[in-house]
Each structure stands twice: as C-alpha cells, then as structure tokens.
Amino acid sequence: MTPGNWPITLVQGQTKLVKVTWTNKDLTGCTVRYLAKNSPVDGDLELSLTDANSGITWVSRTPSGCFQINFTPTITANLTEGSGDHLVWVDFPDGSKFPLLSGSYQIRKG
C-alpha cells in the first residue's frame, strides 16, 4: 500500500495540533506512530511520537478512527532547523502495520 502524501512545516517552539481521520476504519486496539528522519534511508531519527509518550492522542477509534498528532512547544523547540521525511504508521492488533501518511517535513526557526 502507498501512504497518502502529507508535507508539513513546523516552527521551532510553536504548537501544531494535527487531527487525522481514517473514515469508516475501526482502529480499536491499534497504535499510531509518527516518525521523522532527517534523511529517508540512513538518517537520524529526529522525532518519534506515539500514544505511549502523549505525542498521539485518540479522538475516537470507532466507527472511524481519529487521532491527533501533538507537536507541542516542548517538542518543536528541540527540532533542528532543516528538512527530512516523515511517516505515520498504524499498528493493528493482529501485528500488521499500515503506512497511512508520509511526506517531507520542514523545520523553520522560531
């Protein structure tokens, strides 16, 4: 499966709250991961947000899954100015994984 294209720009030290809804997809028991790297192949991991570290919060899981990615000032203040690639993964209870969104990100000085 090819993930949906989602470019994003973040500003150091500023908040950006992004809601993502997967229409008519029950996400009960799923986890969501947001990963950002400064290079797609062998780059350093710049950011890892999950529901376990409060980087992802659930709005609803059924009948349509909806979650929010929380780019808080604490998180964005520590990001290095520049660009890279990011991916949003949905991990299902049966062990399968789905790349929901991907694209480039840009970090601008605040």
Q: How many domains is the chain built from? A: 1
In the DSSP assignment, the letter for residue 39 is S
* Residue 76 near residue 11 (C-beta atoms within 8 A): yes
Q: How far apart are CA 5 and CA 8, in angstroms?
A: 10
Q: What is the pTM of this model?
A: 0.90
Q: Tell whether 17 is covered by a domain.
A: yes
DSSP 73-93: HHHHHTSPSEEEEEEEEEE-T
pLDDT tens, position by position, 10-34: 999 999 999 999 999 999 999 999 9
* C-alpha distances out from residue 43 to 14, 27, 35, 36, 55, Å: 24, 30, 12, 9, 21
Q: Tell whether 57 is covered by a domain.
A: yes
Q: Tell whether 42 is covered by a domain.
A: yes
pLDDT at 2 over 90: no
Q: Is the peptide bond before 63 cis (omega within 30 degrees of 0)?
A: yes
CATH at 59: 2.60.40
Q: How confident is the model at residue 40 (pLDDT cuts 50, 70, 90)?
A: low
Q: Tell whether 63 is covered by a domain.
A: yes
Q: Tell whether 62 is covered by a domain.
A: yes
Structural domain that includes position 36: 4-94
Q: Tell whether 110 is covered by a domain.
A: no
Q: How confident is the model at residue 1 (pLDDT cuts 50, 70, 90)?
A: low
Q: Tell whether 74 is covered by a domain.
A: yes
Q: How confident is the model at residue 39 (pLDDT cuts 50, 70, 90)?
A: confident
Q: Tell whether 65 is covered by a domain.
A: yes
